[in-house]
């Protein structure tokens, strides 16, 4: 530690030159105080990491009374996830740490320091998903609640926290041994130093633990562990030891060419090298704006016929690289975008369905306008394929599938404002089958039968509809083949199979109880084998769905897709973090508030929400229009809490609140719905809707 000389009454702001970029306040350079020896101070050196460095995040360190514990203000994590804190005079443990990612790529992280460093020494404090989960076990899985009630934290709480930590380390010991038993000897999630992965370096063994172990929930909402290759939740240890240990995973040892820690770094480096170039250098476009050439760094992002040897050329849902990445490659806002190391969402070891290990990478970035985004893409492990330029044996291949189809989970919150205010939470599966003419092999099929966990035993039929970008769900059930002309529509434009809903939207009205499903073809029923919240198989991460494609009644092809996320039990949806309704949004949907200026059709509407720091940021807003669409033309930055929404299309307006109900057109009205779409980064959908219907 570098001890600095300071003027009387001032405090040291950083403990070493290397940590200056992580400090708030003054730079703390040498100051002559006339030769007086300063009093030694206690400091903390911290790391915020999720299997990679959490950079640019806000750090709040407080005492049990909620007062700032550090001299520095504000405190922001450095590019390597580190931060430092000089304790204020008289401040002692416990010290509560909350790290908030302004981009919303991860939920706030929590940690607690239960020991005060001695004067002149530095304590280590890690803030990670694992520390957050351990703290949460003091309060039924709610770590933020522990911070909010910090004044009640006492010696018994500290002892309980230590017991939970010990039991958790025992529970994950198999994983620790598989990663590096020597480096992780006496591993402590809160204090074992973490060197977090960045674009410039791979992480150490303690960082690797965070790459491999995932914090999830059981079907009853209890905290649990999973790994990238074993998604089934294992209930997490608490003050009593866990009944089941987390098994060692199939992840290769740290430091090997097939090390996923190296892969997540190199995947991001490849994207960064491509997008460091301006559009004109990234790609060459012909007169029809098709890409005819990609620059070498962009080609090197993915596999080609000879890179590496015996690898297939990149293909994802039937698209080659230039087509799949077209929007990004031709977007000026992506020039010099900042990419971060990827997250491994899932790992599928080689088996009869694939001769190679497959990983699903999630690559986050921030464009040159400050807007975050992420790319979810598959890669494969090609043993002995590492080169000097690409030392990892993992390469981005795409999913190597031929058709533009996908399946994902959804959860929604719907609040109604009418004579009898009500609401519900609902869950389901979004099944997307592209009906666009440009989609790969689009003309080779016209109906699709989808089967898999949670769906009716006989499957769901989807059919191509003119003018619609996605195949529409049918009410037909039964054995194939089905002709397109015979498919009856379940509902116009429906792609989501809704599985369950709650009886209400609050604890008092039944948010924790199952409601009765609508007797409709796009809802699960108790007698069709589908999951309805009470019976059937709840869709879980890794579940396989089979898509049988038919053309004119004849089988054209069959493909499968895996689910990347587990469907939230609907009775637990109220416990997810949701933003609050703003006063302007409420006035726009609630006749009872009496804002008559908003009753008629509108050419614009202010939509606002009360930010919940634990919820994903709002990424989109839609409003019902008098042409029957649900749109909004106004863009807004991630992190905003309001937007002046405007209709899409010349002459269109937002629907009126008053007047007769018209849901069939040509001029829709008498109702209004406003929706907030959340920026999830795992491929799932999360929506909050606020509506008035008479």
- pLDDT for res 258: 63
Length of the chain, please? 694
- Report d(CA 422, CA 567) in Å as an integer: 24
CB atoms near residue 110 (< 10 Å): 24
Domains of the chain: 17-235 (2.60.40.10), 260-396 (no CATH), 405-566 (no CATH), 577-692 (2.60.40)
- DSSP per residue, 17-37: GGGGGG--S--------TTPP
Q: 183, 185, 207: which is closest to 195 by C-alpha?
A: 207
- Looking at residue 257, its pLDDT comes to 56
| Residue 591: count of CB within 10 angstroms of its CB | 18
Q: Which of 261, 567, 601, 281 is nearest to 409 (CA)?
A: 567
pLDDT of residue 171: 96
Nearest to 246 by CA among 268, 267, 230, 262: 230
User: Which strands make up the sheet holding 58-62, listed edge to edge?
Assistant: 75-76, 58-62, 95-100, 109-113
Q: Characterise 452 by phi-psi region: left (phi > 0), alpha (psi -120 to 50), beta (else).
A: left
Segments of the chain with pLDDT less than 50: 1-33
CA distance linking residue 392 with residue 388, whole number of Å: 9
Residue 692: strand pairing partners: 672
pTM (whole model) above 0.85: yes
Instruction: Assign 80 to helix, strand or coil.
Output: coil
Q: Of 432, 395, 176, give the one whose Cα is nearest residue 300.
A: 395
What is the three-state SS of 589-652?
HCHHHCCHHHCCCECCEEEEEECCCCCCCEEEEEEEECCCCEECCCCCCCCCCEEEECCCCCCC
pLDDT of residue 658: 87
Distances (CA, A) of 86 to 57, 80, 541: 18, 19, 43
Phi-psi region for residue 336, left (φ > 0), alpha (ψ -120 to 50) or beta?
left
Nearest in space to 200 (alpha carbons), one of 53, 56, 337: 53
- Please, how many CA atoms are within 13 Å of residue 396, restricted to the half-sphere of its CB? 26
Asked whether the beta carbons of 513 and 503 are under 8 A apart, the reply is yes
Residue 87 has a pLDDT of 97
Taking the C-alpha atoms of residue 498 and residue 391, their distance in angstroms, rounded to an integer, is 45
pLDDT tens string 373-424: 999 999 999 988 888 888 889 999 999 999 999 999 999 999 999 867 789 9
Which structure tokens are listed for 644? 């002046």
DSSP 294: E
Q: What Cα–Cα distance (Å) separates residue 364 from each residue in 105, 199, 340, 616, 663? A: 8, 12, 6, 15, 40
Helix axes 205-212 and 260-275, enclosed angle (nearest 10): 90
Query: How far is the C-alpha of 426 from the C-alpha of 220, rounded, in Å?
Result: 16
Token digits of residue 248:
């060692």
Closest CA to 310 of 381, 363, 376: 381
Secondary structure class of 321 (helix, strand, coil): helix
- Residue 256's pLDDT is what? 59
DSSP lists the bridge partners of residue 645 as 605
What's the CA dihedral at 671, 414, 540, 378 to 10 degrees? 60
For residue 480, the model assigns a pLDDT of 81
pLDDT value, residue 38? 60
Contacts of 172 (CB under 8 A, 6+ apart): 209, 213, 225, 245, 246
What's the rounded Cα separation, in Å, for the pair 291 and 180? 45
Angle between helices 205-212 and 173-180 (to 10 degrees): 130
Q: Encoding tokens for residue 183? A: 């480096």
Q: Within a 10 A sphere around the Cβ of 690, how many other Cβ atoms?
A: 24
Nearest to 179 by CA among 255, 263, 80, 257: 255
What angle in degrees, to the nearest 10, is found between the helix axes of 129-136 and 155-171?
130
Q: State residue 618's pLDDT score.
A: 96
Q: Please measure the distance between the N-terminal and C-terminal CA atoms of the chain and give it in whole angstroms.
A: 68
Q: In the beta sheet, which residues pair with residue 416?
A: 422, 691
| Residue-wise burial string across 264-281, b where 16 or more C-beta atoms lie within 10 A, e elsewhere | bbbbbbbbbbbbebeeee
> Tokens in use for 212?
């491999």
């Amino acid at each position: 530690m570098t001890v600095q000389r300071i003027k009387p009454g001032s405090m040291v702001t950083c403990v070493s030159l290397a940590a200056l970029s992580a400090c708030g306040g003054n730079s703390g350079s040498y100051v002559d105080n006339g030769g007086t020896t300063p009093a030694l101070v206690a400091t903390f050196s911290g790391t915020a990491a999720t299997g990679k460095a959490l950079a640019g995040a806000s750090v709040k360190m407080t005492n049990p009374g909620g007062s700032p514990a550090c001299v520095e203000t504000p405190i922001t994590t450095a590019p390597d996830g580190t931060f430092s804190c000089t304790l204020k005079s008289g401040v002692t443990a416990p010290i509560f740490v909350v790290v908030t990612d302004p981009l919303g790529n991860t939920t706030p992280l929590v940690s607690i320091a239960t020991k005060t460093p001695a004067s002149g020494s530095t304590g280590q404090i890690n803030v990670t998903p694992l520390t957050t989960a351990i703290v949460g076990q003091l309060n039924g899985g709610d770590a933020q609640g522990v911070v909010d009630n910090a004044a009640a934290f006492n010696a018994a709480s500290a002892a309980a926290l230590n017991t939970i930590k010990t039991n958790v380390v025992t529970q994950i010991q198999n994983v620790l041994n598989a990663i590096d038993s020597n480096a992780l000897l006496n591993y402590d999630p809160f204090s074992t130093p973490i060197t977090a992965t960045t674009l410039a370096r791979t992480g150490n063994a303690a960082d690797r633990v965070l790459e491999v172990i995932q914090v999830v929930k059981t079907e009853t909402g209890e905290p649990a562990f999973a790994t990238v290759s074993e998604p089934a939740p294992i209930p997490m240890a608490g003050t009593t030891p866990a009944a089941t240990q987390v098994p060692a995973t199939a992840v290769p040892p740290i430091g090997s060419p097939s090390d996923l820690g190296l892969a997540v770094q190199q995947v991001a480096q490849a994207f960064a090298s491509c997008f460091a170039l301006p559009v004109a250098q990234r790609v060459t476009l012909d007169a029809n704006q098709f890409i005819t050439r990609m620059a070498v760094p962009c080609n090197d992002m993915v596999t080609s016929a000879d890179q590496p040897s015996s690898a297939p050329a990149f293909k994802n849902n039937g698209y080659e690289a230039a087509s799949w990445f077209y929007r990004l490659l031709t977007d000026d806002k992506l020039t010099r975008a900042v990419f971060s190391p990827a997250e491994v969402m899932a790992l599928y070891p080689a088996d009869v369905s694939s001769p190679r290990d497959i990983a699903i990478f999630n690559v986050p970035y921030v464009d040159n306008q400050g807007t975050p985004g992420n790319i979810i893409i598959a890669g494969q492990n090609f043993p002995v394929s590492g080169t000097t330029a690409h030392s990892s044996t993992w390469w981005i291949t795409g999913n190597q599938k031929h058709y533009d189809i996908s399946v994902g989970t959804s959860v929604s919150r719907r609040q109604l404002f009418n004579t009898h205010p009500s609401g519900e939470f609902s869950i389901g599966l979004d099944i997307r089958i592209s009906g666009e003419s440009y989609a790969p092999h689009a003309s080779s099929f016209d109906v699709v039968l989808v089967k898999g966990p949670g769906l009716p035993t006989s499957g769901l039929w989807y059919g191509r509809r003119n003018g619609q970008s996605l195949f529409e769900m049918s009410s037909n059930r039964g054995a194939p083949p089905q002709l397109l002309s015979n498919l009856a529509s379940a509902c116009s434009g429906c792609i989501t199979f809704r599985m369950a809903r709650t009886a209400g939207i609050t604890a008092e009205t039944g948010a924790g109880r199952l409601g009765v499903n609508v007797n409709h073809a796009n809802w699960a029923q108790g007698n069709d084998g589908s999951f309805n919240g009470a019976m059937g198989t709840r869709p879980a991460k890794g579940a396989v769905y089979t898509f049988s494609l038919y053309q004119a009644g004849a089988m054209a092809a069959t493909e499968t897709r895996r689910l990347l996320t587990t469907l939230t039990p609907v009775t637990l949806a109220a416990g997810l973090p949701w933003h609050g309704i703003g006063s302007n949004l409420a006035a726009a949907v609630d006749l009872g508030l009496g804002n008559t200026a908003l009753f008629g059709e509108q050419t614009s509407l202010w939509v606002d929400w009360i930010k919940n720091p634990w919820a994903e940021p709002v990424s989109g807003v839609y409003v019902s229009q008098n042409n029957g669409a649900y749109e909004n033309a106004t863009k807004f930055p991630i992190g905003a809490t309001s937007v002046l929404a405007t209709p899409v299309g010349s002459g269109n307006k937002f629907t009126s609140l008053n007047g007769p109900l018209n849901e069939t057109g040509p001029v829709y009205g008498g109702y209004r719905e406003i929706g907030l779409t959340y920026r999830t980064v795992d491929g799932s959908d999360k929506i909050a809707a606020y509506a008035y219907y008479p």
